[in-house]
Amino acid sequence: MSVLQEISSNVKNMKTLEYSLLARWTKQIKEDLRQGVKKPFREVIDVSWGDPHRGGVKPLTFVRQVLAACLYPQLMNGEKLPVDVRQRAQKLLDGCAGWSRLVFSKCSFSLGSYSATGGLPEIVQRVSEFISRRDGGVPSNPENIFLCCGSQWALTRILNVLVNAEAPFPTGVLTPAPCYSTTPLSIEGLGGVVIPYYLSEERGWELQVEELHRALESCKGACHPIALYVINPGNPAGQVQSRKSMQEVIRFASEKRLFLLADEVYQGCVYGETEFVSYKRVLSEMGPPLSDTVELASFHSASKGFMGECGLRGGYVELVNLDPAVKKYIYTLFCADSSPPVLGQIALDLMTNPPQPGDPSYLLYYQETQHIRSTVVKNVKKACEVINSLQGFSCQAVEGGAFAFPRIHLPAKAIQKAKEAGMQPDTFYCLRLLEEAGVLASPGSDYGQEEGTFHIRFCILLPHDVLGELLQRLSDFHTQFMKDFS
């Protein structure tokens, strides 16, 4: 009594990532290692996720102390934890649901309670103040902010409202190539069409507005384009967009009546000369009529800064210039999944409102975050140097984000071999890298890339010695690989 024939064809259209083959393989290799099977390495270095803690980056002490105290308030008795930790934990607890002392003799606020659909009002308020500070005073209205179970969660719900599966023409979403793999999957799963626009690798993965025009032109008659998705700082490409480029994108969105989806989760991770500026700020600076009309959703997350609390699942979306009627539907959809994880919301509060100079936790917090930042800056420099020194390998400058996305100039023989194995050439490369050197990176073909080009993606938010080991393994492997297939 299988229902396979009957299931949603949209869901059937969702492609399986090349990465899933590599993940299965990794599981087997780890099992082999556990059982003592001899390999050229003793442990797999998994740099396939944008997950700092997985790579060995340490959690921030302040963050973990506050979270622990909220969970187990007995920790607030005594002086074990710094006073600002205890005060912050108490303040956060007071914002949770529960009884005050008004009716009963007891007081019981617990983060085990559901929060409101859009998050705890006090945290939403503080996130809104953070946004306004970040944007040089551009106002932010808490009613336009929704905390959620990770930014991807919110993006999928908004796509759900925008993508109209029953319309005569399918809905199209302009999406960068390369692009973080989950968003195209979500668009397809909802019955929408991905319209790729290619970032210019030779110009440091720049977003060029002519390419947006080309992409839009290319889908005429095939779908109804409704939104433009941008990722800044880039994932996987690691570029940071200039203000000028963002202005062009905003004008394009306005002219073509496209809803702007700005994935800005790596805004805290910028290493190059270009500063991060939010789409909301640039839009506001452009003034009316643009600043009053272009519909924008901007996403941020507690997983993606130097805090790196991926496991807690905390993100938010801010909606700008939305028709209240559309916002109502977004809210209804958010309601259908209950409330977001409270610990993820607290992580967002701490990320957007860290200890300030003079606070007892400030010094340690500053040292820990500076250590991560300087490590990553060193990592980025080292990774690009090493890769660009290797024959058949090249890497654009990594200006922001969590990844390097170097291009591999694969020999024809390797491409041929991959074809024979029924694999994408860069998946073939990654599989060999995994088997021979114990490095799990992910293949460019999962992200979209210009026909005939090949890439790999790996996380650079790592302790410096781990990156060193990774680059050593990668260099040795690559040199041998190029020799074998030349």
Candidates 28, 113, 356, 370; binder of a copy of itself (CB under 8 A) is 113
Nearer to a copy of itself, 171 or 352 (CB): 171
DSSP letter, residue 162: H
Burial track 283-313 (b if 16+ CB lie within 10 A, e otherwise):
bbbbeeebbeebbbbbbbbbbbbbbbbbebb
CB of 26 to a copy of itself, least distance (A): 11
Sheet holding 193-198, edge to edge: 145-148, 315-320, 296-301, 259-263, 224-231, 171-177, 193-198
Would you say 9 or 389 has its CB closer to a copy of itself?
9
- Both tokens assigned to 382: 């080292």
Nearest distance in Å: CB 202, a copy of itself: 32
Closest distance of CB 117 from a copy of itself, Å: 9
Write out the binding residues for a copy of itself, residues 130-169 only, by CB under 8 A: 149-150, 152-153, 156, 160-167
List all residues 6 or more positions away from 381 whose beta carbon is below 8 Å from its beta carbon: none
2 versus 389: smaller Cβ distance to a copy of itself: 2
Alpha helices in 107-219 (DSSP H): 121-134, 151-162, 182-189, 209-218
CB 313 to a copy of itself: min, Å:
4
Structure tokens at 220: 């005429």
In the complex with a copy of itself, the residue whose CB is nearer, 21 or 97, is 97
* Site map 283..302 versus a copy of itself, x via CB under 8 A: ----------xxx-------
For residues 90 and 78, give the distance between their C-alpha atoms in angstroms, rounded to a whole number. 14
Distance in Å, CB of 415 to a copy of itself, minimum: 28
CA distances 42 to 4, 441, 458, 466, Å, are: 42, 17, 20, 14
Paired tokens of 349: 């509060």
CB of 381 to a copy of itself, least distance (A): 21
When asked if residue 35 is in the footprint of a copy of itself (CB under 8 A), the reply is: no
How many residues touch a copy of itself (CB under 8 A)?
A: 105
DSSP 49-114: SS-TTTTTPPPPHHHHHHHHHHHSGGGGSSSSS-HHHHHHHHHHHHTSSEE-TTTSS--EE-TTS-
**Kind plus residue range of the DSSP H or E element containing 28:** helix 19-34
42 near a copy of itself, rule: CB under 8 A: yes
Nearer to a copy of itself, 68 or 270 (CB): 68
Residue 286's alpha-carbon distances to 47, 229, 421, in angstroms, are 39, 20, 52
- By beta-carbon proximity to a copy of itself, the closer residue of 203 and 464 is 464
**Measured torsion, CA atoms of residues 159, 330, 297, 313, in degrees rounded to the nearest 10:** -80
Q: Which of 300, 304, 313, 407 binds a copy of itself (CB under 8 A)?
A: 313
> CB of residue 356 vs a copy of itself: minimum separation in angstroms?
22
Q: Give whichever of 108 and 391 is closer to a copy of itself, judged by the CB atom.
A: 108
- Does 182 sit near a copy of itself (CB under 8 A)? yes
CA–CA distance, 470 with 143 (Å, rounded to integer): 45
Indicate which single residue of 213, 466, 475, 479 sits in contact with a copy of itself (rule: CB under 8 A): 466
> Binding of a copy of itself at residue 336 (CB under 8 A)?
yes
Binding of residue 28 to a copy of itself (CB under 8 A): no
Q: Which of 12, 409, 413, 464 binds a copy of itself (CB under 8 A)?
A: 12
Residue closer to a copy of itself, measured from CB, 101 or 389: 101
- Binding status of residue 418 toward a copy of itself by CB under 8 A: no
Q: Of 37, 40, 114, 419, which lies in the binding site for a copy of itself, with binding defined by CB under 8 A?
A: 114
* Secondary structure (3-state) at 407: strand
Residues 6+ apart with CB under 8 A from 223: 169, 170, 171, 172, 192, 193, 195
Site string for a copy of itself, 216-255 (x = CB under 8 A): --------x-x---------------------------x-
- The pattern of x and - marking residues 58 through 97 that bind a copy of itself according to CB under 8 A reads xx----xx-xxx-xx--x--------------------xx
On whether the CB atoms of residues 455 and 235 are closer than 8 A, the answer is no
Closer to a copy of itself by Cβ: residue 43 or 129: 43
Among 18, 29, 49, 198, binds a copy of itself (CB under 8 A): 49
Q: Provide DSSP, 211-239.
A: HHHHHHHHTTTT-EEEEEEEESS-TTT--
Three-state secondary structure call for residue 456: strand
Q: Is 98 left (phi over 0), alpha (psi -120 to 50) or beta?
A: left
Q: Considering only residues 35, 36, 79, 103, which one is a binding residue for a copy of itself as defined by CB under 8 A? A: 103
- Is residue 366 a contact point for a copy of itself (CB under 8 A)? no
Q: Considering beta carbons, is residue 10 or 132 the nearer one to a copy of itself? A: 10
- Contacts to a copy of itself from residues 190-219, by CB under 8 A: 191
CB 431 → a copy of itself: shortest distance, Å? Answer: 20
CB of 446 closer than 8 Å to CB of 430: no
